[in-house]
Structure 1
Amino acid sequence: MGTAKPFVVVVDDDASVGRAIKRLLRSVGIVADTFASGDEFLDTLSSMPSYRPDCVILDVQMPGSNGLEVQRQLAGQAVPVIFITAHDDAGVRGEALAAGAVAYLRKPFNDALFIRTVCAALKIEAPR
């Protein structure tokens, strides 16, 4: 990876959640962009071929393209996906994990667990 900082995208329709996660990631040296919808993120991906995050964190329930639909669009791009949700549903969790998600966390989540999960997805050492 060289000296470049890991780059993560957070897609959540709750702007306060996106801001909080971005701050949390920045506190451990991970750069993050936030998107308020799956459609907004997918539009950016398709319009900017060089825009390639190292990991994508998706809310499950969003207007427009939900997290599972965004995950399907990312299939084949070898980008790790972590789901976050306030509405844990075993069927949705199973579908997300079966489609390759590296983790499925329920909000509110423990910050230390979240950081460890993101670092594992990025294959970097988590801060102590």
Structure 2
Amino acid sequence: MIRVLLADDQSMVLAGLHTILSAEPDIGVVGQARDGRMAVELARELTPDVILMDIRMPIVDGLAAARELAGSASKVVMLTTFDLDEYVYEALRAGAAGFLVKDIPDDQLVAAVRAVAAGDTLLAPSVTRRLIEAYVRRPPAAAMPSGAAELTARELEVWRLVGAGLSNTEIAARLYLGEATVKTHVSRVLAKLGARDRVQLVVLAYESGVV
């Protein structure tokens, strides 16, 4: 059973998410929060597998709440609206496992929750690439992260494509490699850069000017 915590200050959004997810036999909603402070408290009490967190909430916003929960066992997925939110990049830097737009189709929402619970990332879909392109405020190119000098030419190329939002399947097609080989390269890049997950690889790619 995938245990999910919902955090949003809009009752209709909470009700909709609860209805969609509770209908799945392998997903259970263990709690609901109306602000970021309550979300952090419930997350620490209930230790859910996945937290769907609205970026904009009262008392403590979703971004600050995600920072507080960084490093915990729970995977935080930010809920955003394409037209309004300007904090996607900051959310990824805060440790979020990805983000979803609120009008995502029901089946895609369910699939996303399952994917995050399994340790996958939400950075591959085209909608995510559009959000990154729209909202990332690219900082000035900084020094390469520690360990970057150890990357092979192929690993650097794979890192650049991960940073551009490509999935393993897309990278394999682009470089004429097998998916298993791409997964191995990604694992090595993660290890050499000391990144906690694929999301952080994207952040590091933007911060260092690789993308």
Query: TM-score, normalised to structure 2's length?
Result: 0.51
- One-letter code aligned to 2:80: T
Query: What amino acid is the match of 2:35?
Result: S
User: Using a 3 Å threshold, how does the CA distance of structure 1 residues 43 and 81 change in structure 2: closer, same or farther?
Assistant: closer
2:2 aligned partner: 6
Instruction: Give the Cα–Cα distance (whole angstroms) in 2 for the partners of residues 108 and 13 of structure 1.
Output: 16
Structure 1 gap ranges (5+): none
RMSD: 1.7
The CA deviation string for residues 29-72 of structure 1, in whole angstroms up to 9 with x for no partner, is 211121111112223345x4xx2111111000011110011101
- Residue 98 of structure 1 pairs with residue 64 of structure 2: no
Whichever structure has more helix as a proportion of its residues is 2
Tell me the residue number matched to 2:196.
Answer: none
Distance across 2 between alignment mates of 1:74 and 1:45? 8
Counting aligned pairs with the same residue, the percent is 29
The structure carrying a bigger strand percent of its residues is: 1
Contact 2:8 2:34 in 1 (8 A): yes
Q: Which amino acid aligns with 1:57?
A: L
Residue identity in the other structure for 1:42? V
Aligned residues: 115
Which of 1 and 2 has greater Rg? 2
**Separation in structure 1 between the aligned mates of residue 112 and residue 43 of structure 2, nearest angstrom:** 24
Q: 1:45 to 1:119 in 2, by over 3 A?
A: closer
Larger CA deviation: 96-105 vs 13-22: 96-105
TM alignment of 1:1-128, pairs within 5 A: 5-29=1-25, 30-32=27-29, 33-45=31-43, 48=45, 51-86=46-81, 87-89=84-86, 92-123=87-118
Q: Please, what TM-score do these two structures have when normalized by structure 1?
A: 0.81
**Bigger relative contact order (CA 8 A; separation at least 6):** 1
Change in 2 beyond 3 A, CA 1:123/1:45: closer
1:82-120 deviation digits (Å, cap 9, x = unpaired): 11123232xx11111223322212222221221111110
8 Å CA contact 2:52, 2:77 repeated in 1: yes
Give unmatched runs, 5+ long, in structure 2: 120-211
Query: Does the 8 Å CA contact 1:88/1:106 hold for their aligned counterparts?
Result: no
Alignment-mate amino acid for residue 85 of structure 2:
D
